[in-house]
Amino acid sequence: GEDVEQSLFLSVREGDSSVINCTYTDSSSTYLYWYKQEPGAGLQLLTYIFSNMDMKQDQRLTVLLNKKDKHLSLRIADTQTGDSAIYFCAEIFGSSNTGKLIFGQGTTLQVKP
């Protein structure tokens, strides 16, 4: 089936770490993604992970993938007020790479000074 789920809201203090969680259903997904949407703007790819990896680190971002549990997480270290946005988890649906992205509902990250 096509289902990606995320918690809707997360609030952290500036300087803390943020962890946004996501579960997905399609075990044949080759890539999983994190997109960021700032207010009034389109989505921007933040990072992605290939399905044969467990972890990917990119500066302040760490992506963890647990294929057995179909669980994906995004950790943002030293969260800044500029990180306030909606974060979408997404998977490519199906093993044939048609480009069909299934998005989660988005997690609104609020960073308090």
Contacting residues for 69 by C-beta, under 8 A, at least 6 apart: 23
Among 27, 28, 44, 66, binds another protein (CB under 8 A): 44
Backbone dihedral angles phi then psi of residue 33, each to the nearest 5 degrees: -130, 155
Query: What is the nearest approach in angstroms of another protein to the Cβ of residue 89?
Result: 11
Task: Note whether 43 binds another protein by CB under 8 A.
Answer: yes
Q: In this complex, which beta carbon is closest to another protein, that of residue 11 or of residue 17?
A: 11
Encoded amino acid at 92, one letter: I
Q: How far apart are alpha carbons 10 and 27 in whole angstroms?
A: 27
In the complex, which residues of this chain contact another protein (CB under 8 A)?
A: 31, 33, 37, 40-45, 48, 50, 86, 88, 92, 97-103, 105-106, 108
